[in-house]
């Protein structure tokens, strides 16, 4: 069996030597299924020739009892060498694939267009925030309106024997999360303090934007001028009664609309969050109530409170 294999192999070598067009051919060992090029084929031929002649010598010199063992050893060595060559040929193939994948990955890293688009989106997002701020006016933007109102308050106070030192202004056009209760100094023409104030729920579960009514049991806030009345301790603790001075708030005293503090009103602004609702009263924080309470008690004449929108 081995001799027939070697003879077939020698025939292939002779064809290779005497055929000059066979330089680029790939020769395959059918028995081992190994693809080989010319240099590897030549080394394999030489090794097989050496193996053939060495077997002939050993057959003549070695006793018969060792021939079987020698044949088994030669076959196993030859089979192992063939299997190693197969493994090496298959292991070399994935390397080329890995190199190609690396090249593909490196190509994917090149584009850097996304950074420009992100910067554009950030720049486009800035004006939106500015527009939102414009939709929610602050006290500084309402200075013209405040100046007009304070002049009217001052004239009204002079005519009706009320305080010309201070007045209270409540701007219901501002969001409830912003300070919209202003203490105004009529002598210095300036706001000296401000705080959060709730509006009425109108007997609904919650109102983010205020609604106004003068009807009894409506639970709504009322617009217009009020006279801050006497201090008393009632259902919500320390409070000041309010008397309506206009047709739109004439029922304020009957409705028990007062100024009082409550624990759901914080001391600082909470915008863009919204504030809790009252039942129509001017509801502030306890700390801010103490500030206005001191001013009301020290004032010799009643102070005007004006709620506007």
| Burial of 84 per CB tally in 10 Å (0-12, 13-18, 19+) | exposed
Contact indicator for 15, 7 with CB cutoff of 8 Å = no
* Phi, psi angle pair for 17, to nearest 5°: -70, -45
Domain ranges of the chain: 2-94, 144-308
Cα four-point dihedral sign 10, 11, 17, 21: negative
DSSP single-letter state for residue 160 = T
Contact indicator for 191, 183 with CB cutoff of 8 Å = yes
- CATH T-level fold of 144-308: L,D-transpeptidase catalytic domain-like (2.40.440)
CA atoms in the 13 A half-sphere facing the CB of 277: 17
* Phi, psi angle pair for 288, to nearest 5°: -70, -35
Q: What is the pLDDT along the chain (309 residues), one digit of tens a residue?
A: 444 444 454 444 444 444 545 444 444 444 444 454 555 556 667 776 777 677 676 666 666 666 677 778 767 766 665 555 444 444 444 444 444 444 444 444 444 444 333 333 333 332 333 333 445 555 455 788 899 999 999 999 999 999 999 999 999 999 999 999 999 999 999 999 999 999 999 999 999 999 999 999 999 999 999 999 999 999 999 999 999 999 999 999 999 999 999 999 999 999 999 999 999 999 999 999 999 999 999 999 999 999 999
Spatial CA neighbour of 182 closest among 294, 191, 107: 191
């Amino acid at each position: 069996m081995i001799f027939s294999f070697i003879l077939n192999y020698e025939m292939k070598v002779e064809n290779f030597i005497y055929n000059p067009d066979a330089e680029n051919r790939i020769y395959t060992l059918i028995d081992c299924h190994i693809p080989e090029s010319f240099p590897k084929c030549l080394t394999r031929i030489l090794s097989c020739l050496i193996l053939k002649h060495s077997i002939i010598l050993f057959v003549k010199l070695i006793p018969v009892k060792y021939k079987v063992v020698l044949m088994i050893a030669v076959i196993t060595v030859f089979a192992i060498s063939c299997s190693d060559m197969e493994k090496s040929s298959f292991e070399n193939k994935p390397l080329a694939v890995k190199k190609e994948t690396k090249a593909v990955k490196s190509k994917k890293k090149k584009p850097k267009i996304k950074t420009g688009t992100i910067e554009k989106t950030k720049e486009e997002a800035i004006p939106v925030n500015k527009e939102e701020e414009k939709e929610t006016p602050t006290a500084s933007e309402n200075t013209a309106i405040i100046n007009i109102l304070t002049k009217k308050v001052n004239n009204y106070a002079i005519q009706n024997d009320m305080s010309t030192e201070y007045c209270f202004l409540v701007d219901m056009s501002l969001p409830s999360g912003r300070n919209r209760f202003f203490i105004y100094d009529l002598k210095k023409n300036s706001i000296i303090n401000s705080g959060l104030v709730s509006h009425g729920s109108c007997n609904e579960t919650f109102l983010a934007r205020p609604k106004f009514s003068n009807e009894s049991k409506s639970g709504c806030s009322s617009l217009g001028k009020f006279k801050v009345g006497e201090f008393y301790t009632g259902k919500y603790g320390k409070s000041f009664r309010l008397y309506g001075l206009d047709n739109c708030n004439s029922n304020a005293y009957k409705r028990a609309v007062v100024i009082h503090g409550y624990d759901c009103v914080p001391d600082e602004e909470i915008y863009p969050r919204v504030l809790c609702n009252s039942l129509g009263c001017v509801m502030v924080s306890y700390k801010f109530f103490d500030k206005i309470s001191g001013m009301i008690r020290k004032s010799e004449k009643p102070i005007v409170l004006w709620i506007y929108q």
